Amino acid sequence: MKIASWNVNSLNVRMPHLAQWLAAAQPDVVALQETKLEDTRFPDGDIAALGYRSVFCGQKTYNGVALLSRVPAEDCVIAIPGFEDEQKRVIAATIDGVRVVNLYVVNGKAVGDVKYEYKLRWLAAVRDWLAAQIAQYPELVVLGDFNIAPDDRDVHDPAAWHEKILCSTPERDALRAITDLGLHDSFRLHSEEGGQFSWWDYRMAGFRRNLGLRIDLVLVSDALRARCVASGIDREPRTWERPSDHAPVWVRLAR
């Protein structure tokens, strides 16, 4: 079972990229972020023609998440229970016996900004919810655009990014509070290497110069850890014409 995550930065624009990548990568489950589409405009028919069911929760211009899967998604939830939030950033469902939680974590803009405070409150609410989810669903995958680089190996220039947004200690502590629930960064189960990024700024030829961060993560629960046989970052779609600024990341679970 191959499970992937991709921030597409507008599904409307990236539909051809998604189609090409699905055909090549053959994932069983894909979590999308930044679809930027209201539910009435979601291209579930086009995605069905590619062999995938869709569940989705979006808004126009900003945010929006979806789960695509070969088999139907069950018990779908489209928000953090009990957390007041107008922004469409969460969708969860059970797919082929695995609980999959797709997160588009708040960016935060800058350390100390009002959006940064919202990011930390949002992450605390997610942690509390995931604590309950992992008890209910031991076979849990939490994936998405975390907008946090877990440590300095995940940052092209740690000195320049020191205590900056996406890298600050409170953000990393909030991520640790989530992984401390018994969730493992699947990429780090198979590689200790630095310089492996999933996002590159469009500006300053960021991708060409590999000025990136690893902020897109696939976390697997203790119960799934032994089944996690491979993981990776697929840089290729970032080389295509008019790409998303994020690359797909993925994990393969043995049966």
Partner DNA sequence: ATGGTGGTGCGACCA
Q: Active-site residue numbers?
A: 104, 145
| Residue pointed to by tokens 């190996």 | 153
Position 161, amino acid: W
Stretch that binds DNA, among 46-54, 95-103, 133-141, 199-207 (CB under 7 A): 199-207
> Minimum distance from CB of 131 to DNA (Å)?
25
Among 53, 70, 115, 172, binds DNA (CB under 7 A): 115
> 13-51: string of b/e by CB count within 10 Å (b at 16+)?
ebeebbeebbeebebbbbbbbbbbbeeeebbeeebeeee
What is the rounded (10 degree) CA torsion for 121, 113, 89, 80? Answer: 10
Q: Give 52 or 199: the residue with its C-beta nearer to DNA.
A: 199
Q: Is 209 in the site for DNA (CB under 7 A)?
A: no
Rg of the chain over Cα atoms, rounded to whole angstroms, equals 17
Least Å distance between CB 9 and DNA? Answer: 5
Sheet of 65-69: strands edge to edge? Answer: 53-57, 65-69, 29-33, 2-7, 249-253, 228-233
Complex with DNA: residue 106 or 142, whichever CB lies closer: 106
Helix%, strand%, coil% for the chain, nearest 5: 30, 25, 40
- Contact track, DNA, 210-249, x by CB under 7 A: --------------------------------x-------
CA 233 to CA 241: how far, in whole Å?
19
Which residue number, 137 or 150, has a Cβ lying nearer to DNA? 150
Please report how close the Cβ of residue 237 comes to DNA at its closest, in angstroms.
12
Q: Which of 125, 133, 9 is nearest to 65 (CA)?
A: 9
- Give whichever of 90 and 93 is closer to DNA, judged by the CB atom: 90
Q: 242 and 197 in contact (C-beta within 8 Å)?
A: no
The answer to the question of residue 9 lying near DNA (CB under 7 A) is yes
DSSP state for residue 246 in the 8-state scheme: B
CB of 146 to DNA, least distance (A): 11
Minimum Å gap between C-beta 62 and DNA is: 6
> Is 121 one of the binding residues for DNA (CB under 7 A)?
no
Q: Answer yes or no whether residue 203 interacts with DNA by CB under 7 A.
A: yes
Q: Using CB under 7 A, which of 23, 204, 226, 254 touches DNA?
A: 204
Q: Which residues bind DNA (CB under 7 A)?
A: 9-10, 12-13, 36, 60-62, 106-107, 109, 115, 147, 201-204, 242
